[in-house]
Structure 1
Amino acid sequence: MPEFLEDFHTHLDSRNRSTNTILGYMYEINVFLRFMAVVLKKESIKDIQVTDLDKIRMTQIEKYIAESEDGIKLSETARRRKLSVLKTMYKYYLAIGAIKNNPTLLVEGPKLHERDVVKLSDSEVSALLNCIQNQDKISEHAKAYNKRMVDRDMAIIMVLLGTGMRVSELVGLNLSDIDTTEEHKVYFSIIRKGGDYDKVRVITPVYNAVADYIEFSRPLLLSSADENALFISTQGKRISVNAVQKMLKKYCKAAGLSDKYSPHKMRATFATKVYAETKDIYAIKDALHHSNIDTSKHYISDKEARIDAAAEAARLFFK
């Protein structure tokens, strides 16, 4: 990578971006530099200078975000992500006076079409929790293997459904992050996406599941008494995102649910339930720690529910 990108890397780090976010940015920029090298006839991306960013035109940016390196047409989501990275980079170098132009300002991002939110219904939530708790439709061999993990798995799914936190936030939880200092209330202190610290309210049923896990299951999984991670893997260490994903997939299959349900769909299930009960979009924004209300609006875009509501409203004509 050219040396001038070290400054941008430092800039991202100073803004408390997560390691994965920074890696994603740098990977995308590396792809863009390869595109630039072809356009500007450079032998290598190492030959690119920061001032070369001024030589890229709006139409070339549009071409870059439209296709992958293999010439495959990209989805609207992928195009928006690529443009977002370039906008951030150009904005930074323009702000510090390293370049004079920002062609990304002229590029209109693709509009995302409204999609129905993929979430679990109330009956599906019940089926999933019952499957974990009672080990329904699980083979005898698997039941014996799962014995140490049942309380843990139940606690994990209930935390995801009951708080809406991301799976990356969940696996980062420590025992020391549980705050019971306020009477009749429990909070988790978590590090949000982007590095922000936040407090998440934990309702009693969810906390009881976590407490049961800590008392009965966690000691059976630990490889070291000094381990501070809340959720422990079968290897005795902090559980990984991948392990949680596999666990959920296993139970969804056993419960007869769709294999499209992921930890993120638990977040969507929480968000849509919050809005259904409160009709308060800001409750979603604050609970999920969204920086933009437009992100929260995605979880109220249930077209089928709106159509039903509109039809029911017509009853007023016939009273």
Structure 2
Amino acid sequence: MKIMVALSGGVDSSMSAKLLKDAGHEIEGCYMKLHEKPGYHEKNIEKVRKVGEFLGIKTHILDLQDEFRREVYEPFVRTYQNGLTPNPCALCNRTIKLGKLLEFAHQNGCERLATGHYVRVENGLLKKARDESKDQSYFLANVNPNALKSMIFPLGEMLKSEVKAKASAYPELIEIASQSESSEICFVDKTYIEILQRHTNTKTPGVVKNTNGEIIGTHEGYMHYTIGKRRGFRIDGAHEPHFVLKIDAQNNEIIVGGRDELDTYEFSTRNLNAFVSVDEILNAPNLGVKLRYRSTKIPVKIALNERGGVNGVLSYPANGVAGGQLAVFYDEEDRVLASGFIE
């Protein structure tokens, strides 16, 4: 089988290509230029070319900077401007990696596209990786369900430690195997505020209110805060920690309260990206939901809403549910049934 492998210059994608080539497949690699961070692409492209030479495979450089800016970067900025918390990786996986790159693979005669994501596919559904500490099913849960038919995830059944050990057996890959992990958001060097400041004025002082609507302090500008944050604002006469509960972008206000006020039993989504029929999702036994990448799966009951999404009621409260994040619904076997962006 002819397979395109997404190569980043890191150990996961490099070993994905090696494993598939050793299995007898015809392999080509592709590096994606997604953003304009100075010096970022040059060093990675050099690594990708070295991996290509070592494996004896053709490597492509695909410039998707315009598409990435339109589909991922600009929505990232707009989401913060709207007082929400964006999930750029979920957008990128849908429109870029399992979108434009998959199209490129097919255009080059490849039957499948492989990536170094830690995730499995079972009966046509995404499933949590064997290595739960590296599982990326959450970030892939927004992809077009049809794309999964063309995908291979060689690392889904492996532990990260096993991948690095295998890579270290090859001198050409030792340097890659020992390199530090990449950042979660590839175009953010230090903080997201540095990105926003290039496009908008983030320093717009405003007031802090409690849940009764009373002004109790001041803040630096609403874009500096996300749900659950407890620092960076001033509360008059506060003796207990306060946490951001809500962001009012239109009025440049943040609403704060105690830790227990972050807990919520209910949430809603504005869309439903379904991998099975809606009836199967609504009637799935022991349905669970993850509301952030590092959160635990919580049992949930859901019903459709008039906005094309769902309303969910949790069996126990979640802490700091943030609009703009992805709600990912799993069945009892840890397979992804659907996802939707939290309102």
TM-score range, shorter chain: under 0.3
